[in-house]
Structure 1
Amino acid sequence: MIPESIKHFLNSFLQKEITQFSPVGGGSIHDAYRYSIDGKEFFIKYNDEVEGIIAKEVDGLNAIAKLNCIATPEVIAFEKIDNYEVLILPYIKGGLKTPKSWENFGEHLAEMHKKPAQHYGWHQSNFIGSLYQSNERTTDFIDFFIHQRLRPQIKLAEKQHYFSVEEINQFEKLFKKLNEILPATSPSLVHGDLWSGNFMIGEKDTPYLIDPSVHFNFRETDIAFTHLFGGFDVKFYESYNHHFPLEPEFQERISLYNIYPLLVHLNLFGRGYYGSVMSNLNQYVR
C-alpha cells in the first residue's frame, strides 16, 4: 500500500482526495500505481531504497524531451517525501505495436541520435537498473567504453568471484583490440537501457521512451541493446536505418556492446548470466 505521507502529499498537491490506487506491475525497483482524477489517469512511482534513482530518471526524461525528437511522459511532479522519492507522470495506455508504430519508433530514435554532442558521458552519474553508473566526460569512445562502462562492472563481478584471473586477462586482451574492431564514432544522446520494457506505444502509433539511463554515447550501443532479449520488430530497424544508416558490419559488433548490459545483469541477478557474458567476450578474444 502507498505510504500515508505520499497519500497526504498527493491530496495536497491535487487539492482533492484520491480514494483508489491500482497497482502497476512490470518493475522490480520501484513501487508503482495508477489513479484517476477528473477523468484523467496518472501514474505514480516511488522508491526509498536506492537514493537518487528517481531524480536521475527525471533528469533523463527532461533531457530527452528537450530534444523534441521522441515522446516521453511529461514530468508532472517530482518530490522528496520523508525517505521517498516520488514521481508523478500521466498514465499512458499501451497501444498496439503496429507496423506504423515501429516505423515511427525507428524514425524518432534516429532523429534523437542525429543530434550531436561534444563528449561522451554526462553531467552526473546515474543508474543502470539499480546499479551505479559512472559518466565521467571524455572525447574518446574507447576510453569511455573501457573505463566508464566495462571496468566498473568487471570489478564488481570480481568482488562476487564470478571471474578467474585468466578470464580477467581476456577482458584486458579485448581492450587492446577495440581499435581494430570499432568504426569511427561520435557521441549523441542515448536512452542507455533500451530493451522492450523501456518503451511504450501510446495513442496514434506514438512511441514513448520510459525509464531512461541517459548519457552521451555512441549510438550503436543503443541499437545493440535492443537486440539483447530477442530484438525489436524488423520495421523498427528498417526505419532507423532509412533515416540514419548504421556503420557497415554493425551486426558483428552487437555482441561486443552487449557485454556491458550482460555484466550488469550478472551483477544484479547472478551467475545465470555468466555464460552469456563469456560467450560474447569469446567472439572477440580467443
Structure 2
Amino acid sequence: MDALDHAILDLTGDRIAARRPLHGGDLSAVTLVTLQGGGRVVAKSGPLVDREARMLTAMAETGAPVPDVVGVAGNILLIEALDEGAPQPTAWAKAGETLAQMHGATGANYGWNEDYAFGNVEISNAETTDWPDFWASRRLLAHAPYLPGGVAPRLANLAERLPHLLPAAPRPALLHGDLWTGNLLFGPEGGIHFIDPACYYGDCEVDLAMLHLFGSPGRGFDEAYGPLEPGWETRRTVYTLWPALVHLRLFGASYRGMVDRLLKELGV
C-alpha cells in the first residue's frame, strides 16, 4: 500500500477501486479516486494541504460554495469530488453573487495566520493594519531578490507610491487569493464552486483583479457582484502585478513582458 492507499483507508474506512490524475496539478498532484464502496473523492498531495483544508473550511463558513473537506492525512488532502460541466447561462451571475457574499466576511487585520506558497514561491501573510504596506512588503518587494535585472528598482519605486494608489484601510475581506478562471469549477444545472484557495484578508478588489488577468468573467458577473469604488482601474493594475510576478518566478521569462507592461502602465 502506498501513502494514498493509507490515507483513503484512514479517512474513509474504504479502499481504492480506481484512480486517475486530474488536470490542474501544476503545483501539486491531484487524483480522482473511486472507492470500492462506489463513492468518489479527490486527493491532493503536497506539504501545505493542511493549510488548504483550513482555508476551504473558512470559506465554507461564509456560505461560499467549496468542495467539502473529507480530511487530511499527512501530506494528502481528501475533498469532495464534484461533477464538471460547461457554464450555464446563470453561472457567472451566481459566481458574482457568491463571491460578494464571501467578501462580506471581515478579518481584524490584513493577512492570514499562516503563510502559504505556490510551489517554491513563498507567500508571506504576516498580519498588519496598514494595507499599502502589506501590499508593498508581502506582495511586491518580497519578490525583488528573485527577479531579473531592472525589475526590482521599479518595484521599489512603485512601493513608495502605493499610499497614493491604494486605500489606506479598505475593509479586510476574506479573499480566495488565487481566483483565476481555472479555480472556478462549473457544474451541472448552473452550479459553481471555488477551488484551490490561497486565502487571506485584504481589499476585495484583489480577487477581481486576478479573475480578469487571463480574460473576463462571463455575462452577469459584474452586475451580480456590484459596483466598485472610483479609481478601481488603477488599483486593478496594481493588484494584477502580484500574480504576474508570481508567474514570472514560476514559469519564467515568457511573463516578463506582462510585468513590464503593468509597471509601465503604473508609471515606473
Q: TM-score, normalised by structure 1?
A: 0.87
SS in 2 for 1:89: strand
Instruction: Check whether the contact 1:78–1:87 (CA below 8 A) recurs between aligned residues.
Output: yes
Aligned residues: 266
Q: Secondary structure at the match of 1:155?
A: helix
1:97 to 69, 80, 87: 87
Distance 1:279 1:227 in 2: 16
> Which string of whole-angstrom CA distances, capped at 9 and with x for unpartnered residues, describes residues 119-167 of structure 1?
101111112454211111111110100011111112222xxxx023xx4
Deviates most, 148-157 or 178-187: 178-187
TM-score, normalising length: structure 2: 0.92
**Contact 2:93/2:224 (CA < 8 Å) preserved in 1?**
yes
1:273 is matched with 255
SS at match of 2:90: helix
Asked if 2 retains the 8 angstrom alpha-carbon contact of 1:42 and 1:90, the reply is: yes
Which one of the candidate residues 57, 63, 82 is aligned to 1:62? 57
SS at match of 2:69: coil
Once the 2 structures are TM-superposed, how far is the Cα of residue 214 of structure 1 from its aligned partner?
0.2
Aligned match of 1:170: 154
Map of 2:131 onto structure 1: 141
| Matching residue's letter, 2:66 | T
Structure 2: distance between partners of 1:5 and 1:285: 51
Question: More displaced, 214-223 or 147-156?
Answer: 147-156
Counterpart AA for 1:100: T
- 1:173 and 1:285 in contact (8 A); partners too: no
Q: 2-side partners of 1:34 and 1:192: how far apart?
A: 24
How many Å separate the matches in 2 of 1:113 and 1:129? 26
Equivalent residue runs for 1:83-232 within 5 Å: 85-157=75-147, 162-164=148-150, 167-183=151-167, 185-232=170-217
Q: Which residue of 2 aligns with 1:71?
A: 65
Question: How far is the alpha carbon of 1:192 from its aligned partner?
Answer: 0.5
Distance in 1 of aligned mates of 2:108 and 2:6: 44
Q: Distance in 2 between matches of 1:205 and 1:103?
A: 10
Q: Within 1, Cα distance between the matches of 2:89 and 2:16? A: 38
Counterpart contact for 1:153–1:260, Cα < 8 Å: no
The answer as to whether partners of 1:183 and 1:247 remain within 8 angstroms in 2 is no
Give the letter for the 2:30 counterpart. A
CA displacement 1:31-62 (0-9 Å, x = unmatched): 22212333432211223xxx3x2122112111
Identical aligned pairs, as a percentage?
A: 31
Counterpart for residue 45 of structure 1: 44
Over aligned residues, Cα RMSD in angstroms? 1.8
Kindly provide the CA deviation profile for residues 249-277 of structure 1, in whole angstroms up to 9, marking residues without a partner as x.
Answer: 31232221111111111111111111111
